[in-house]
Structure 1
Amino acid sequence: MVYDRIKQQMMDTLPFVRLLGIRIDAIGNGTSEVSMPADPKLNNHLGTQHAGALFTLAETASGAAMAGAFADLILGLRPVAKESRIQYQKVAKGATRASGRVPGDIAALKAALSTDGKVAFPVEVDVFDEHGTLAAQVQVDWYLSEKR
C-alpha cells in the first residue's frame, strides 16, 4: 500500500526521528498517528518529556499527515515546513503520541497545486501523554512545490 511506502520512506530519510525512537504508526488520507517511547534520555529537568522531543514528535506527525494527503503525488513534490507554532498545555509524562490532520478540502489543495505548481496549507497536531492528557497543540504550515 502507498501509505506503508510513505512510512518506510520517512523512516529511512529522517535519522533524527529514528534517534528519538519516534515511530510512524499510521498514515491515512491527510491523517497520521505517531508515537514516541518513554525514555529518560528524552526528559527535561522535571523528569517529563523535553519540549524539543515533543516538537519533533508533532512535526513528524504533521509531515506524515501532509504526505498522506498527497500520497499519489508526493514523490514528485518538494515539501518544506514553512512555519510552526506550538502551544504547550501540560507536562507530558511517559510515552507520547501525536495525531496529525490536514484540515479542510484536500481535493481543493490538490487542484491548487495542479493549477499553480505549488500550494501552502496548515497541518494541525495534538500531542498526548501516556495518560491521554493533551500536552501540546501544534500547527505546521507546509509549502509544496513540484520538483523541477
Structure 2
Amino acid sequence: MSAEQMSVGEMLAATVPMARTLRLEFLETTAERAVVRLPDQPEYHNHVGGPHAGAMFTLAESASGAIVIAAFGDQLHRAVPLAVTARIDYRKLAMGTLTATAALGRSVADVVAELDGGARPEFPVTVALTREDGAVTGEMTVVWTLRPNS
C-alpha cells in the first residue's frame, strides 16, 4: 500500500513507533476532529492500575498529530508540521480504555493563508481524554507550527 492509499491512522502507526508500541487505535481522522483510543493494557499501567501518565500524554499528542496531518496533509510538500509546546492537565483518575478527541483551534484556511504569506504559522490543538464512562480524565493543548521547507 502506498502512502497515498494509507489512512492518516495507518500512516501514523507505520511511521511513529510509539503509536505502534501502545497499540493506539485511530478511530476518526478528519480536518475537523481526530479520535484515538488507547486500549487498557496492564503493561502500561501506573501504580494505581490505570494508564501511565506517559501513555496518556502519547495518546493525546498522537490525536493532535492525527488532526494536523488530516488538516494539512496537502501542505507537506512545502512545510513540515512540528509540535512547539504541549501542556497536559490530569483531571480525574484514568482507568481502563481511554479515548482522545482532538480539535483544531484555528481554521485550516487561516493557517494556510499565513503559510502562503511566507510566515511560519502556529495553531493550537485541544484534546480531551475520556474514560469509557465519558468522564474527562485529562486535557491537553499542543501548539503546532508548519515550518516551511528550505
TM exceeding 0.5: yes
**Structure 2 counterpart of 1:25, one-letter code:** L
Aligned with residue 126 of structure 2, among 106, 124, 127: 124
- Which stretches of structure 1, 4 residues or more, deviate above 3 A after TM superposition? 2-5
TM-score norm. by structure 1 comes to 0.91
2:96 paired with 1:94 = yes
2:10 paired with 1:8 = yes
Aligned with residue 114 of structure 1, among 116, 119, 125: 116
**Structure 1 counterpart of 2:131, one-letter code:** D
Q: CA contact under 8 A between 1:122 and 1:139: conserved in structure 2? A: yes
**Structure 2 counterpart of 1:99, one-letter code:** T
| Runs of at least 5 residues in structure 2 that lack an aligned partner in the other structure | none
Structure 1 Cα separation of the partners of residues 35 and 123 of structure 2: 19
Aligned position for 1:83 = 85
Secondary structure (helix, strand or coil) at the match of 1:71 reads helix
Secondary structure (helix, strand or coil) at the match of 1:138 reads strand
Shift of 1:5: 3.3
Q: CA contact under 8 A between 1:3 and 1:68: conserved in structure 2? A: no
Shift of 1:75: 4.5
Structure 2 Cα separation of the partners of residues 140 and 20 of structure 1: 20
With over 3 angstroms needed to count, the CA separation of the structure-2 counterparts of 1:6 and 1:77, relative to structure 1, is farther
Q: CA contact under 8 A between 1:20 and 1:53: conserved in structure 2? A: yes
Aligned position for 1:72 = 74
Shift of 1:4: 4.8
TM-score norm. by structure 2 comes to 0.90
RMSD (CA atoms)? 1.7
Q: CA contact under 8 A between 2:128 and 2:138: conserved in structure 1? A: yes
Aligned position for 2:38 = 36
